[in-house]
Amino acid sequence: MGGPQGDAWIGPDGLWKRVQVAEELAARASRGLQPENVARDALGPRLQASTAQAIARADSPQQAMTLLLGSPDFQWRI
């Protein structure tokens, strides 16, 4: 992953933008969603134990969704 696109992806500005998007998506997510189930369904074997633990320890479902969407597991690309 090199060049301008790679730099935009891994740079601090890119990270900040991904966190902002994760927060906005989490705020708009259905209140009925269970973040643990979303994580398991979306990531399957790519869900790391540390991410699952952070989601489980979140103070609210919205915070859990933000953690999921902003996690390295969720940001992984082929």
Who has greater pLDDT, 44 or 25?
44
pLDDT tens per residue across span 29-43: 767 889 999 999 989
Confirm if 18 and 70 have CB atoms less than 8 A apart.
yes
Res. 10: pLDDT tops 60: yes
Q: Is 1 helix (H, G, I), strand (E, B) or coil?
A: coil
Residue 37's nearest CA partner among 56, 60, 63 is 56
What pTM value is reported for the model? 0.69
Tokens 């643990």, residue located: 36
pLDDT tens digits, residue range 43-75? Answer: 999 999 999 999 999 999 889 988 998 888 887
CB atoms within 10 A of CB 68: 26
- The answer to whether residue 78 scores a pLDDT higher than 60 is no
Q: What is the pLDDT of residue 51?
A: 94
3-state SS assignment for residue 76: coil
